[in-house]
């Protein structure tokens, strides 16, 4: 087939369509969509039925970096501060100390059982040291698995925030492999620079992004997600330019924005949720095309030994040590260690040694691919079984299965008031997003003259507007009055 623009679009759209259909089976059989997307890519690759010859690691790495930006940003937007606050330090320990211990333990083991140098072993350990949130939660959702208090937020926070640490370790150990005269001590300044600069700029760009989104006036609602995409890539690239960790900055920026009032926030969230899925499919397809199955078969023996050590020794050891300072039942620690799925991120990081051209780069890539595949197949398909064995799954009778029940439990309001805004009130001329409205209350409607308006974040308050306000309690309504600086006597019943 002659490769024309039309043919490339045809092949790409067909692969995307097949991947989406294949992904539906994951909810029936409990197989993560990651595996299915990879298999579709492998079947379409040079050694598969499609015969597509793709071996450009630089393009694959570029696609990986772009995709990870969208996946991390979408995950950050969906992260609720109230949910992760109780487990903040557990998550931080797992995503930093836990990742480091996993990399060191596995790297030392690889050095001991193979002809890898210690730095090459540590490089392999660093590449597979982070967990994959997409694989974890696709299975949890497919089985409607509800976990006991704080386990899910801990897993969510760890999975969303441990990629930056794995990236830093990968770059650092790759540098040690290339420059053998350097010592491990030399990577310490790099670590602190990446984390500190990335953290500061991530939160800084989050605040700047909030101001830009809420202050700028765009003519079309559909332009706001495009604006956020631009701000996301600015955050990543600017942080990287100044020597910080771009992935950490993007995640923190998104977490900050996700917990703030934004204009057209629902539109932005829905758009990024769809884009994150698209990027996952594109990423997994690309990595599947990149792999030569025959070469992966050659490393099955050593790959299986390393994978089993990671699952049953390195990961549990790192989790137990990381969570020592915290009070947590042992069975919950064991379950957190079991939910250590490796996914697309390690495969993306495995392209760095290939591009650098080190001696064992191809072997490292194939081993990493095999580890990711076996981790998802072994751990991913048993999450429900292990949760029940360890008694960390909620009983069936306490699960909220119906979407309407979940909606009512989260959004039901018990108090309603109509509040008229005087012409001299300070909020006149301000947008709703600028009001710092109490989170337990909403402006359901605005009566303006003879018209009723459905407001959004960009709606400006005009003199004599009547706000129809709903709150989940009377105390919440009292906070509304305080926010508006209006006495309750001005309420119109």
CATH of 5-398, one of 1.20.1530.20, 3.40.50.920, 1.10.260.40, 3.40.1190.20: 1.20.1530.20
Spatial distance between the Cα atoms of 281 and 284, rounded to a whole number of angstroms:
5
Chain Cα centroid distance, residue 195: 18
pLDDT, average across residues 17-22: 74
Strands (E), 9-104: none
Which residue matches tokens 């955050």?
235
Sorted by sequence, the CB contacts under 8 Å of residue 68 that are 6+ apart come out as 163, 247, 283, 345, 348
Interhelix angle 133-142/57-77, rounded to 10 degrees, is 60
Question: Worst-scoring range by mean pLDDT, 1-5, 388-392, 409-413, 432-436?
Answer: 409-413
Of the candidates 245, 237, 227, the one whose C-alpha atom is nearest the C-alpha of residue 66 is 237
Token pair of 26, please? 């994951």
Residues 242-277 have pLDDT tens digits of: 999 999 999 999 999 998 888 888 889 989 988 888
Residues 139-186 have pLDDT tens digits of: 655 555 667 777 888 887 888 788 889 999 999 999 999 987 777 787
Q: How many helices (H) and strands (E) does the chain have?
A: 24, 5
pLDDT over 90 percentage in the chain: 36
Over the chain, what is the mean pLDDT?
84
Per DSSP, the three-state class of 179 is coil
483: number of Cβ within 10 Å: 14
Per DSSP, the three-state class of 467 is strand
pTM of the model as a whole: 0.80
Which residue matches tokens 């950050």?
76
CATH number at 405-492: 3.30.70.1450
Spatial distance between the Cα atoms of 402 and 33, rounded to a whole number of angstroms:
24
Cα angle for residues 174, 176, 181 (degrees, 5° grid) = 155
Which residue matches tokens 């884009």?
275
> Is there a contact between 420 and 465 (Cβ–Cβ < 8 Å)?
yes
- pLDDT at 7 (0 to 100): 73
Of the candidates 228, 237, 233, 214, the one whose C-alpha atom is nearest the C-alpha of residue 271 is 228
pLDDT, average across residues 178-197: 86
Spatial distance between the Cα atoms of 485 and 479, rounded to a whole number of angstroms:
10
Domain boundaries, the chain: 5-398, 405-492
Is the model's pLDDT at 411 over the cut of 50?
Answer: no
Spatial distance between the Cα atoms of 98 and 129, rounded to a whole number of angstroms:
8
Beta partners for 69?
A: none
């Amino acid at each position: 087939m002659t490769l024309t623009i039309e043919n490339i679009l045809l092949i790409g759209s067909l692969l995307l369509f097949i991947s989406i259909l294949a992904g539906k089976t994951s909810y029936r059989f409990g197989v993560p969509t990651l595996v299915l997307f990879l298999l579709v890519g492998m079947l379409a690759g040079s050694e598969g039925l499609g015969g597509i010859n793709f071996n450009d690691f630089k393009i694959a790495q570029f696609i990986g970096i772009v995709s990870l930006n969208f996946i991390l940003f979408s995950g950050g937007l969906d992260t609720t501060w109230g949910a992760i606050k109780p487990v903040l330090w557990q998550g931080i320990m797992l995503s930093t100390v836990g990742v480091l211990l996993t990399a060191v333990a596995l790297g030392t083991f690889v050095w001991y059982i193979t002809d890898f140098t210690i730095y090459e072993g540590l490089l392999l350990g660093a590449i597979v040291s982070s967990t994959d949130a997409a694989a974890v939660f696709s299975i949890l959702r497919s089985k409607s698995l509800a976990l006991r208090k704080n386990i899910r937020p801990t897993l969510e926070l760890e999975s969303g925030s441990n990629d930056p640490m794995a990236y830093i370790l990968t770059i650092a150990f790759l540098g040690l492999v290339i420059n053998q005269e350097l010592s491990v001590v030399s990577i310490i300044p790099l670590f602190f620079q990446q984390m500190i600069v990335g953290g500061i700029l991530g939160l800084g760009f989050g605040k700047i992004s909030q101001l830009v989104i809420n202050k700028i006036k765009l003519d079309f609602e559909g332009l706001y997600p495009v604006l956020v995409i631009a701000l996301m890539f600015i955050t990543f690239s600017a942080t990287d330019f100044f020597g910080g960790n771009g992935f950490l900055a993007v995640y923190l920026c998104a977490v900050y924005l996700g917990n703030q009032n934004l204009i057209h926030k629902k539109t932005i969230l829905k758009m990024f949720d769809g884009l994150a899925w698209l990027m996952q499919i594109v990423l997994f397809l690309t990595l599947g095309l990149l792999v030569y199955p025959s070469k992966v078969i050659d490393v099955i023996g050593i790959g299986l030994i390393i994978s089993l050590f990671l699952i049953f020794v390195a990961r549990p050891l790192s989790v137990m040590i990381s969570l020592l300072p915290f009070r947590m039942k042992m069975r919950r620690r064991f379950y957190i260690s079991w939910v250590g799925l490796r996914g697309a991120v390690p495969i993306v990081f495995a392209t760095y040694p290939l591009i650098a051209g080190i001696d064992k780069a191809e072997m490292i890539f194939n081993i990493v691919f095999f580890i990711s595949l076996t981790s998802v197949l072994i751990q991913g398909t048993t999450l429900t079984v292990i949760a029940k064995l360890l008694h960390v799954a909620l009983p069936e009778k306490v699960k909220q299965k119906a979407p309407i029940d979940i909606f009512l439990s989260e959004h039901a309001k018990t108090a309603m008031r109509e509040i008229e805004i005087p012409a001299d009130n300070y909020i006149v001329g301000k947008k709703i997003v600028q009001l710092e409205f109490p989170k337990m209350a909403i402006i359901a409607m605005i009566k303006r003259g003879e018209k009723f308006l459905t407001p959004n974040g960009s709606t400006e308050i005009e003199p004599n507007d009547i706000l129809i306000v709903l709150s989940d309690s009377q105390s919440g309504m009292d906070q509304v009055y305080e926010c508006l600086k209006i006495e309750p006597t001005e309420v119109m019943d």
